[in-house]
Each structure stands twice: as structure tokens, then as C-alpha cells.
Amino acid sequence: MKNDLAEKIAANPKYQMLVRTRSRFGWTLTAVMMLVYYGYIAIIAFDKELFAARLGAGVTTVGIPVGLGVIFFTILITGFYVRRANSEFDRLTREIVQESAK
């Protein structure tokens, strides 16, 4: 019984679209996050003076807010993925299961 349901789901065009869309979206966000993170690390490695510059007369350097920006960006794109997964991907999953259970 379970094998039949799995085969019906795998053969459903909506399932194939869901897998393709979700994979492309996940890999795109992964690439963007890696670009941001490794860009930050590359600047630290190759231009230390840029992030070592002080902001004003205090002890805070440019690297601190930029690093916090990387962390904030990570939280932001995670929320973006969760929002899309909870709306579009979950809706498609319910439709696929309902259609395949018939």
C-alpha cells in the first residue's frame, strides 16, 4: 500500500515541479549565503585594514557592524525560506498527497 502511494506521488507532475522548484530555491539561497559569508572572510583575509578602520573615536571597527550584517542576513534569508516553505511548498505537498491518495 505504501509503495503504491509513493509511486503515485513520484509520478505526479506537481511533485516533480515541487522537487525542482524547492531544490533550485534552496541552492540559490545557499549560493547567495556562501557568496556573502566567503566574501566577508575574503575581505578579512586580503584587506584587513578595511575592516580594521575605526568608526568614529570609539573602539568599534567597521568589521563589527559588517559581521553583524552577515549574521542578520543569514537570519533574513532563513526566514525567507521558511515563509516560502510554509506557504507555497506546504500547499503543494498537501495537494500532491490528496491527489495521490484518491
Structure confidence by residue, pLDDT tens digits, 42-101:
999 999 999 999 998 889 999 999 999 999 999 999 999 999 999 999 999 999 988 888
Under 8 Å between Cβ of 22 and 100: no
Q: Largest alpha-carbon pair distance within the chain? A: 71
CB neighbours (10 Å) of residue 68?
10
Under 8 Å between Cβ of 40 and 51: no
Structure confidence by residue, pLDDT tens digits, 38-53:
999 999 999 999 999 9
Of how many residues is the chain composed? 102
Domain ranges of the chain: 1-101
